[in-house]
A and B are shown apart, each in its own frame.
Chain A
Amino acid sequence: MDEALGEAIDRLISVEIRFGSGLPRGVTHRLYEVARSCQGKPLTFLAATHLQQRVHPGDHVLIVTGAGMAPGLPRGETDGPLGAAALARAIDVGLHAKPVLVSEERNLAPYVAAVQAAGLAVDADLFPHRSGCAVAEPFPLGIEAGKHEAARLFQRYQPAAVIFVEKGGPNRAGVFHTILGIQRPPDAMANAHLLADEATASGTLTIGIGDGGNEIGFGLVRDAVQDIQPYGRTCQCPCSEGIATVTATDVLVAAAVSNWGAYGIVAALAAALGDVDVLHDATTEARMLERCVAAGGMDGVYARMIPYVDGTSAAVQTSLITILHEIVGNSFKTIQRGF
């Protein structure tokens, strides 16, 4: 796979298609550019290259997602689970490794539904014995329980990589925030950054995918997030430390929608592996979205059970997958046009 392909993929997944909802607009390309200049190469290319080099057949990969809480998003949102599901599928189909799905108990059902719609069974009994399978691990709320669980997961699975998709990370004061600077108490969240700490301690690959700067991974460019995001430096809660997370990952993929960042990585992986089918198709994408919503996942902007992701329609999601297939598929085709 050449870098030019990663360039095209990166460009696509950083096209911001948000409507005015009070969420900041015009930030995506700026966050992308700082993440890019900090890491030097196309972000999806980097993530895929690392996964290909570090994850071997039979290895476990933790895929962590889950945003939102009651009353707004009681079972989470559609951004996160679909990207995580696409990665789970690619890790199984492309790398022949074993995906472990990690999320808050309350957010797990829509995540599992998306993974099943992507074609994997989610079954703890079958998981050790065959491919085409994932296992789901509810991650407890709060710091103390989180520390214990992070250590347990690492001991049990000895993962080759940990991937965070749209997974909130704490700021310097240890507080989690929404993109609009509203506090999320640590006791209400999976403190998933503790998995990043375990990974760092054991030298395990970490990849963070986000679209705002409050998600795990953006610690890599924290200063820039503080400058770019309206609530980057100062939030709306008493901690007054801003939404920018301190948790960094080895690779950060900044995208317009976190799912798209995950799809971009999968597309780059498909290109690197020479198999376009490592990326799910548009029909599967539509099914994943429907099932995720049916299981309680809500669009993160409308906060309704509609087949939207961050305020963009199902048609936009399937269009994006179609273009990614085009980018990857065409990279395998050579034409001799004649003149």
Chain B
Amino acid sequence: MAVPAAFENIDRLANVEMRPQGLPTGIVGQLYAIARGDGDPISFRCAQALTERGGEHIALLTGIAGGPLPRGEVDGPIGAAALAHALVQLGCQADVVVPEPMIGVAEGVRTALRANFSVVRDSDARPSDYSAAVTIEKLGRNRRGVVHSIFGAVLSDQTPLADDFIEQLNQEGKLTIGIGDGGNEIGFGAIFDQARSIVPHGADCGCPCGDGLVTSTATEIVFPASVSNFGAYAITSALGVLVDRPLLLASAALITQAVEAAVTAGCLDGGTFEPGRIADDGIPIEGVEAVVTGFRTIATQHFRATPRHA
């Protein structure tokens, strides 16, 4: 059976770039094209893999806490929570795994979404307990073990726990999915050479390690999106289309409440770092709501059949 067009359109919406200048622009589409190749839409591949062999206990790893982001950024935890909430509704056990300083953020987001997934400290998460893992905006190390920002700056306070976690699952043949928007997030090791040539500072970070910002940590499927949360919303909507649950993705109003809860807990908009700003990667919440509305409408329209007028 042909893959329904809804997935193609979910992928497309996830890749609409709307970043402020100053961040690398024009690269997400290129990364997406490489990651997709000639295959089916990536949201479809992720949703299919999660339903067919994701198993019963899925880890959603996210969170960058450190430096100017002591409680992390909005991009990551909201998408992880939205996807975890959906997986729980589909009968899985889903854990949102975050660094210690972001436990409060993840719990606040969970309450805002009226969800009941578990929040687990990253140092407590054991790979052997899980059947699959999804990373959302989770920074990964390069070949020298160094973690970089999107501008190539060294982030020395990041731990390699998630890299080790994913590599362990990869070795065991379990499903791993990485969602990112810059090339420095776990997953891009799957298209390592191409990502290094596409992303600014990809092959040369300018720091003493000299190995570039692209992570060498690969996932089985990598999903480049314009904002990592949008990639997670895309997979959630795709799951909804696949299992006949068109409203599986939380509504725009709930996502807004989740962002507000995260910001209240000290999380910052990763685009501007302005405390209290209700935004995601520099995109005001109205833009986020518009994108979420788009995903949900694609999913609901997929199931609606009303004969056209003559």
Taking Cβ atoms with an 8 Å cutoff, the residues of A that contact B are: 2-5, 7-8, 11-12, 14-23, 25-29, 71-73, 180, 182, 256, 301-303, 311-313, 315-316, 318-320, 322-323, 325-327, 330-339
Q: Tell which of A11, A28, A318, A335 touches B20, judged by Cβ atoms closer than 8 Å.
A: A335
Asked if B302 and A19 make an inter-chain contact with CB atoms under 8 angstroms apart, the answer reads yes
Best-surrounded residue of A3, A20, A325 (most CB of chain B within 10 A): A20
Q: Tell which of B9, B272, B297 touches A335, judged by Cβ atoms closer than 8 Å.
A: B272
Compute how far the CA of A301 lies from the CA of B307 in the bound complex, rounded to whole angstroms.
8
Asked if A337 and B22 make an inter-chain contact with CB atoms under 8 angstroms apart, the answer reads yes
Asked if A330 and B293 make an inter-chain contact with CB atoms under 8 angstroms apart, the answer reads no
Asked if B23 and A335 make an inter-chain contact with CB atoms under 8 angstroms apart, the answer reads yes
Q: Tell which of B5, B149, B298, B305 touches A339, judged by Cβ atoms closer than 8 Å.
A: B149
Q: Does B282 make an interface contact (CB < 8 A)?
A: yes
Contacts of A26 in B (CB 8 A): 2, 4-5, 8
Select the stretch in B54-62, B83-91, B284-292 that faces chain A: B284-292
Taking Cβ atoms with an 8 Å cutoff, the residues of B that contact A are: 2, 4-5, 8-9, 12-13, 15-23, 25-26, 29, 67-68, 149, 151, 153, 155, 226, 271-273, 282-284, 286-287, 289-291, 293-294, 297-298, 300-310
Q: Beyond A26-B2, A322-B290, A326-B284: 18 further Cβ-contacts under 8 Å?
A: A4-B17, A11-B29, A17-B9, A19-B302, A19-B306, A20-B304, A21-B308, A22-B308, A29-B9, A311-B301, A311-B306, A323-B290, A326-B18, A326-B287, A333-B22, A335-B21, A335-B22, A337-B271
Asked if A319 and B294 make an inter-chain contact with CB atoms under 8 angstroms apart, the answer reads yes
Q: Which 3 A-B residue pairs are closest in the complex by CB-CB distance?
A: A4-B26, A26-B5, A303-B309
6 contacts between A and B (CB under 8 A): A19-B304, A22-B307, A29-B9, A72-B310, A335-B282, A337-B272
Compute how far the CA of A246 lies from the CA of B78 in the bound complex, rounded to whole angstroms.
49
Best-surrounded residue of B4, B289, B304, B309 (most CB of chain A within 10 A): B309
Contacts of A323 in B (CB 8 A): 16, 18, 287, 290-291, 294
With A20-B304, A335-B22, A338-B68 in contact, do A11 and B12 touch (Cβ < 8 Å)? Answer: yes
Q: Tell which of B290, B297, B307, B308 touches A17, judged by Cβ atoms closer than 8 Å.
A: B297
Asked if A12 and B16 make an inter-chain contact with CB atoms under 8 angstroms apart, the answer reads yes
With both beta carbons as reference points, the residue of chain B lying nearest to A256 in the complex is identified as: B9
Contacts of B149 in A (CB 8 A): 339
Compute how far the CA of A339 lies from the CA of B139 in the bound complex, rounded to whole angstroms.
14
Q: Tell which of A303, A330, A337 touches B308, judged by Cβ atoms closer than 8 Å.
A: A303
Asked if A29 and B294 make an inter-chain contact with CB atoms under 8 angstroms apart, the answer reads no
Compute how far the CA of A301 lies from the CA of B304 in the bound complex, rounded to whole angstroms.
12
Asked if B17 and A327 make an inter-chain contact with CB atoms under 8 angstroms apart, the answer reads yes
Q: Tell which of A312, A334, A336 touches B301, judged by Cβ atoms closer than 8 Å.
A: A312
Compute how far the CA of A251 lies from the CA of B201 in the bound complex, rounded to whole angstroms.
36
CB distance from B184 to the nearest CB of A (A): 12
Asked if A331 and B286 make an inter-chain contact with CB atoms under 8 angstroms apart, the answer reads no
With A21-B308, A335-B282 in contact, do A29 and B301 touch (Cβ < 8 Å)? Answer: no
Best-surrounded residue of A16, A335, A338 (most CB of chain B within 10 A): A335
With both beta carbons as reference points, the residue of chain A lying nearest to B283 in the complex is identified as: A326
Compute how far the CA of A182 lies from the CA of B22 in the bound complex, rounded to whole angstroms.
51
With both beta carbons as reference points, the residue of chain A lying nearest to B274 in the complex is identified as: A335
Asked if B301 and A333 make an inter-chain contact with CB atoms under 8 angstroms apart, the answer reads no
Compute how far the CA of A330 lies from the CA of B280 in the bound complex, rounded to whole angstroms.
13
With A11-B29, A14-B12, A334-B20 in contact, do A301 and B306 touch (Cβ < 8 Å)? Answer: yes
Asked if A334 and B298 make an inter-chain contact with CB atoms under 8 angstroms apart, the answer reads no
With both beta carbons as reference points, the residue of chain B lying nearest to A337 in the complex is identified as: B273
Compute how far the CA of A72 lies from the CA of B283 in the bound complex, rounded to whole angstroms.
41
Compute how far the CA of A72 lies from the CA of B273 in the bound complex, rounded to whole angstroms.
53
Q: Tell which of A2, A322, A339 touches B26, judged by Cβ atoms closer than 8 Å.
A: A2
Asked if A333 and B304 make an inter-chain contact with CB atoms under 8 angstroms apart, the answer reads no
Compute how far the CA of A11 lies from the CA of B29 in the bound complex, rounded to whole angstroms.
9
Asked if A330 and B13 make an inter-chain contact with CB atoms under 8 angstroms apart, the answer reads no
Contacts of A23 in B (CB 8 A): 308
Asked if B8 and A19 make an inter-chain contact with CB atoms under 8 angstroms apart, the answer reads no
Contacts of A326 in B (CB 8 A): 18, 283-284, 286-287, 290
Asked if B9 and A339 make an inter-chain contact with CB atoms under 8 angstroms apart, the answer reads no
CB distance from A183 to the nearest CB of B (A): 13
Compute how far the CA of A336 lies from the CA of B22 in the bound complex, rounded to whole angstroms.
7
With both beta carbons as reference points, the residue of chain B lying nearest to A323 in the complex is identified as: B290
Contacts of B303 in A (CB 8 A): 19
Compute how far the CA of A131 lies from the CA of B80 in the bound complex, rounded to whole angstroms.
51
Compute how far the CA of A326 lies from the CA of B279 in the bound complex, rounded to whole angstroms.
12
Contacts of A302 in B (CB 8 A): 306, 309
Asked if B293 and A319 make an inter-chain contact with CB atoms under 8 angstroms apart, the answer reads yes
With A315-B293, A326-B284 in contact, do A7 and B68 touch (Cβ < 8 Å)? Answer: no
Asked if B301 and A17 make an inter-chain contact with CB atoms under 8 angstroms apart, the answer reads yes
Contacts of A12 in B (CB 8 A): 13, 16
Contacts of B21 in A (CB 8 A): 330-335
Contacts of A3 in B (CB 8 A): 26
Compute how far the CA of A337 lies from the CA of B18 in the bound complex, rounded to whole angstroms.
16
With A19-B304, A26-B4, A335-B272 in contact, do A327 and B289 touch (Cβ < 8 Å)? Answer: no
